Amino acid sequence: MIRYSKSFAPFLLTPMDIREIARRAKVSIATVSRAINRVPTVDPQLAKRVWKVVDELGYYPNTQARALVLGRSRIFGLIVSEITNPFFPEIVQTFEDLAVENNYEILLTSTVHDPKRMESSVRRMIERRVDGVAILTFGMEESLIEHLRDRKVPLVFVDVGPDVPGIANIRINYLNGIRQAVQHLAALRHRRIAFIAGPQYLKSAGARREAFEDSMKEIGLSPDLIVIGDHRMEGGMNALLELNKLNDPPTAVLCSNDMTAIGVLREAYEQNINIPDDLSVVGFDDIHLAEFTIPPLTTVQMSQHDLAKIAFNALLQEVEYGSSSRERHNYELVTSLVLRRSTALAPIRKSAATLPKTNRIAKSRRTSIVDFGPANHNSRVTD
C-alpha cells in the first residue's frame, strides 16, 4: 500500500490534511473546515490565515472524506450505450461542462449493449455512491433500475424510463421531426419511401419506426418498405443493398440515425447511385458530422446539447431540492428537420427500377433482415 505518510518524506510533504493546515495556521481543524467552506461566521482574520497556508501548501480537501461524512459524493453517473457512437460525445461534453460548473464529477460508463456491462455499470454507480444517474442507453433492464430505485438514487431516463413517480423522464417527440421528414420527401414527389430502422430491441428505435409508419399513413402512403439496420454504418450499407434488390426500389430512404445514413451514402457511392438525384436520404440525430458528409445530410435534429442539459438539470433538481419521490417529472425534447443537400425531387421513372441494374447488384454479405409490412414491430421491445 502506497501511502504518503509523514515517515515517507518528512521534509518533502507532510500529511497535508486539514490537521496540518490547522497546526500551521494556529487554529482548530473546525475553523479550517469552516474557512474552506466559506462559513460566514468565521473571523476574517483567521480565514485569511487559513487560506494563506492552504495556498502555500497547495492543499486540496480530500473529497472522499468529505463525501463520507456528508453522505453526498457529488458524482453523477452517466450511462451511455456506446461512447464510440458519435451521438454521445457531444452529450458527454455538455454533461461535463455542467458538472464542472456545479462542482460535480461524472462517472461515465458505456454499456456497449452488453447486459453484463450494464450490470457492472449499475454496480459501480452504487459502489461509488453517486448522487444521481442519467441513463441514456435507450433501453435497459428493469431489474437493474430497481437496484438504483431501492437506494433512492435520483434517476433520469431518456425515452425509456418507466412512468413511475420519482423518476424523471425525457420524452422525445420523434413524430414531429419524422413527420417533417416524410412530408418533405412527399413534397418532393417521393412515393416509395423506405425506412432503415435501428435494432428493434431498443425502445428508441421502435419509437422512431412507429413515427415513420404513422407519418406515412397520415398522408396516405403505406410504410411497407422497412429494413432493420443496426444504427451503425455497416448496417446502413447492408440495408441499401437489400433495398436495391427489390423490383421497385425506393427513391428515398429515411434512416433511424445518422450513422446509418452515412452508411447509405457510402454504399450509394459504391454503387454509383447519385445522392440526391437518384436517391434522397434523410438521417436522424443531426450529429456534428452530418454537416460534413458528401453530400451534406438532411436530417432530423435531436439536440444532443439540449438533451444533456435537461438530463443534468433534472438530476441537479432532484438532488439539490429533493423534489423527488412525490411528483413525476417529465420533460420533452422536440425533434425537427434540418434541410441540407441529400434530398431532391424524385427521379422521374415510367415504371419500376430504371436505375442501371448492373450497378445495383448486391454483394452477398447480408446481416440485415428485410421486414415488409408493419408486422411484429412490438416483439422484443423492452419496457
Contact residues for a second copy, defined by CB under 8 A: 1-4, 13, 58, 60-65, 67-68, 70-73, 82-84, 86, 88-90, 92-93, 96, 100, 105-110, 112, 117, 120, 123-124, 126-129, 147, 150-152, 233, 262-263, 265-266, 269, 288-289, 292-296, 319, 322
Decide: 226 and 209 in contact? Cβ < 8 Å: yes
19 or 217: whose CB is closer to a second copy? 19
Out of DNA, a second copy, none, what residue 269 binds, judged by CB under 5 to 8 A for its kind, is a second copy
Please choose, from the candidates 67, 130, 76, the residue with its C-alpha nearest in 3D space to the C-alpha of residue 312: 76
Options 8, 9, 15, 354; binder of DNA; rule CB under 7 A: 15
Closest distance to a second copy from the beta carbon of 352 (Å) = 27
369 binds, among DNA, a second copy, none (CB under 5 to 8 A by kind): none
- In Å, how far from its chain's centre is CA 320? 24
Specify the residue, 134 or 186, whose C-beta has the smaller distance to a second copy.
134
CB of 154 to DNA, least distance (A): 18
With binding defined as CB under 7 A, does residue 73 bind DNA?
no
Contacts with 240 (C-beta within 8 Å, 6 or more apart), sequence order: 196, 253, 263, 264, 267, 268, 271
CA proximity to 311, closest of 127, 115, 137 = 137
H or E element at residue 173: strand 167-173
In the bound state with DNA, the residue whose beta carbon lies nearer, of 12 and 348, is 12
Under the binding rule (CB under 7 A), the answer on residue 1 touching DNA is yes
Looking at the Cβ atoms of 68 and 164, the one nearer to a second copy is 68
Question: How many Cβ atoms are within 10 Å of 273's Cβ, its own excluded?
Answer: 21
β-bridge mates for residue 194, sequence order: 253
User: What amino acid is encoded at 67 in this protein?
Assistant: A
Using the rule CB under 7 A, is 61 a contact of DNA? yes
Please identify, using beta-carbon distances, which residue of 100 and 353 lies nearer to a second copy: 100
Size of site (CB under 7 A) for DNA: 27
Q: How far is the CB of 262 from a second copy (least distance, A)?
A: 6
Q: For residues 149 and 167, is the Cβ–Cβ distance under 8 A?
A: yes
AA letter at 32: V
CB 198 within 8 A of CB 204: yes
Stretch in the footprint of DNA (CB under 7 A) among 21-29, 134-142, 264-272, 295-303: 21-29
The option from a second copy, DNA, none interacting with 34 (CB < 5 to 8 A, set by class) reads: DNA
Nearest to 95 by CA among 110, 76, 81: 76
3-state SS class at 300: strand
Q: Please say which residue, 2 or 348, places its beta carbon nearer to DNA.
A: 2
Task: State the binding partner of 45 from a second copy, DNA, none, CB within 5 to 8 A by kind.
Answer: DNA
DSSP-derived secondary structure letter, 289:
G
State the CB neighbour count (10 A cutoff) for residue 349.
12
Contact (Cβ atoms closer than 8 angstroms) between residue 56 and residue 71: no
String of DSSP letters for 307-336? HHHHHHHHHHHHHHH--TTTS--EEEEE-E
Q: How far is the CB of 31 from DNA (least distance, A)?
A: 4
Query: Is residue 30 a contact point for DNA (CB under 7 A)?
Result: yes
CB under 8 Å to 382, separation ≥6 — which residues? 139, 140, 141, 142, 160, 201, 202, 203
Pick between residue 46 and residue 126 the one whose CB is nearest to a second copy: 126
Write out the three cell numbers for 153: 438514487
Cell of 371: 421486414
- Give the nearer residue to DNA in terms of CB position, either 17 or 97: 17
If one asks whether residue 17 binds DNA (CB under 7 A), the answer comes out as yes
Q: Between residues 103 and 379, which has the closer beta carbon with respect to a second copy?
A: 103
Q: Which residues bind DNA (CB under 7 A)?
A: 1, 15, 17-19, 27-31, 33-34, 36-37, 41-43, 45-46, 61-62, 65-66, 68-71
